């Protein structure tokens, strides 16, 4: 089947609408993804890791951003050490991207991998009792690996996702997530209501909590204040869901994972619950900092300082 014309796409009310540049970028990315997926798994992962760390990260500014974040948290770290870590971060990002475009293959690879961690018995008991579970995690290792391991065992797990700015790419990005398990909701008021309804009905879901939000509460993350949304904790309390941190920890071979499920976070004050979730992520990062996505603008210290000055000025004004 021939590729659709973007002008025809724009004429359909149910099709994504975007620029010619977005359409061309999407087609190029689709072609690169399809070519990589045709390769054997070890070669595919090495290729994407090297492509992102050696080409994409320097050109897109990801490497300097990761170095900046590393030195914000660990100012005494030698710069060459920070650069080496930044390259490993980009390598993991490339591997994760192509892995998550083969979610059914990832599911099959995770089918017989043992589940680890103190939360496994609790979540199995919750599942048997029909109690909803909200799994919380960050951009560490491959966050889809534990979900894939559970889906391979017969679980159904939904969640929220942040839509991509490129509407053409977002269309197949979202469809790809639905292929593993659902329901999957787009971030926003409607999506949050959908996830709430799903959990109240006894379903399970996943939320990632390690992105900057100006509406968030400052919670120390790796020793530096990071605005953090409390919505995951609030949703767990509101629905009665067990709140379980989980992580897909990449192993030294670069292609296998340990799916680890930490002990559930007790319900209580949402800020304290998110502090506990943050501490669980911090523990993983201290074990292997290269597996966390340092490319994110997680702290934005200049923006935080500006907002603090505005608040101070507002409090002192007559």
Which of 99, 133, 165 terminates a domain? The answer is: 99
Averaged pLDDT of the chain: 89
Residues 51 and 149 in one domain: no
CA distances from 289 to 26, 84, 88, 136, 137 (A): 31, 11, 9, 19, 15
Q: Tens digits of per-residue pLDDT, 199-224?
A: 999 999 999 999 999 899 999 999 99
Same domain, yes or no: 66 and 127: no
Are residues 178 and 156 in contact, defined by beta-carbon separation less than 8 angstroms?
no
- What is the rounded end-to-end Cα distance, in angstroms, of the chain? 68
Query: Do residues 122 and 256 share a domain?
Result: yes
Statement: the pTM of the whole predicted model exceeds 0.95 = no
* Shared domain check, 195 and 282: yes
Q: Is the pLDDT of residue 24 over 80?
A: no
Domain boundaries, position 252:
114-296
pLDDT digit string, tens, across residues 46-66: 999 998 999 888 988 999 999
Write out the DSSP string of 90-159. HHHHHHHHHHTTSHHHHHHHHTTSPPBSTTHHHHHHHHHHT--EEEEE-SBB-THHHHHHHHTTT--EEE
Over the stretch 73-125, which tens digit does the pLDDT of each residue have? 999 999 999 999 999 999 999 999 899 989 999 999 999 999 999 999 999 99
Confidence of residue 186 (pLDDT cuts 50, 70, 90): confident
Q: Beta strand 224-228 with 204-208: parallel, antiparallel or unpaired? A: unpaired
Number of domains in the chain: 2
Q: Do 70 and 131 reside in the same domain of the chain?
A: no
- Supply φ then ψ for residue 50, to 5 degrees: -70, -35
Q: What CA dihedral angle connects 36, 37, 40 and 44, to 10 degrees?
A: 40
**Are 192 and 59 members of one domain?**
no
* 31 and 161 inside one domain: no
pLDDT value at residue 85: 98
Are 48 and 180 members of one domain?
A: no
Does some domain include residue 230?
yes
């Amino acid at each position: 089947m021939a590729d659709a014309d973007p002008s025809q796409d724009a004429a359909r009310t149910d099709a994504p609408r975007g620029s010619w540049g977005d359409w061309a970028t999407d087609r190029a990315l689709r072609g690169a993804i399809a070519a990589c997926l045709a390769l054997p798994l070890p070669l595919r992962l090495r290729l994407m890791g090297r492509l992102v760390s050696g080409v994409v990260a320097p050109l897109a500014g990801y490497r300097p951003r990761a170095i900046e974040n590393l030195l914000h948290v660990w100012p005494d770290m030698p710069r060459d050490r920070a650069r080496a870590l930044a390259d490993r971060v980009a390598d993991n990002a490339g591997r994760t991207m192509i892995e998550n475009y083969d979610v059914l293959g990832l599911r099959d690879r995770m089918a017989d991998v043992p589940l680890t961690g103190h939360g496994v018995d609790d979540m199995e008991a919750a599942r048997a009792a029909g109690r909803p579970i909200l799994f919380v995690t960050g951009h560490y290792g491959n966050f889809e690996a534990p979900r894939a391991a559970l889906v391979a065992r017969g679980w159904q797990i939904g969640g929220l996702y942040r839509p991509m700015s490129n509407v053409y790419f977002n269309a197949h990005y979202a469809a790809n997530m639905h292929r593993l398990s659902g329901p999957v909701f787009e971030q926003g008021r409607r999506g949050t209501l959908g996830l709430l309804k799903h959990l109240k009905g006894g379903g399970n879901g996943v939320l990632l909590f390690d992105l900057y939000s100006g509406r968030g509460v400052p919670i120390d993350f790796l020793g530096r204040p990071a605005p953090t949304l409390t919505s995951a904790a609030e949703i767990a309390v509101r629905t009665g869901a067990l709140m379980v941190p989980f992580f897909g920890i990449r192993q030294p071979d670069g292609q296998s994972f340990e799916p680890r499920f930490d002990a559930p976070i007790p319900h209580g004050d949402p800020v304290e619950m998110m502090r506990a979730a943050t501490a669980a992520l911090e523990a993983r990062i201290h074990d292997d900092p290269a597996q966390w996505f340092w490319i994110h603008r997680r702290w934005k210290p200049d923006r935080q300082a500006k907002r603090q000055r505005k608040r101070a000025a507002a409090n002192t004004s007559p």
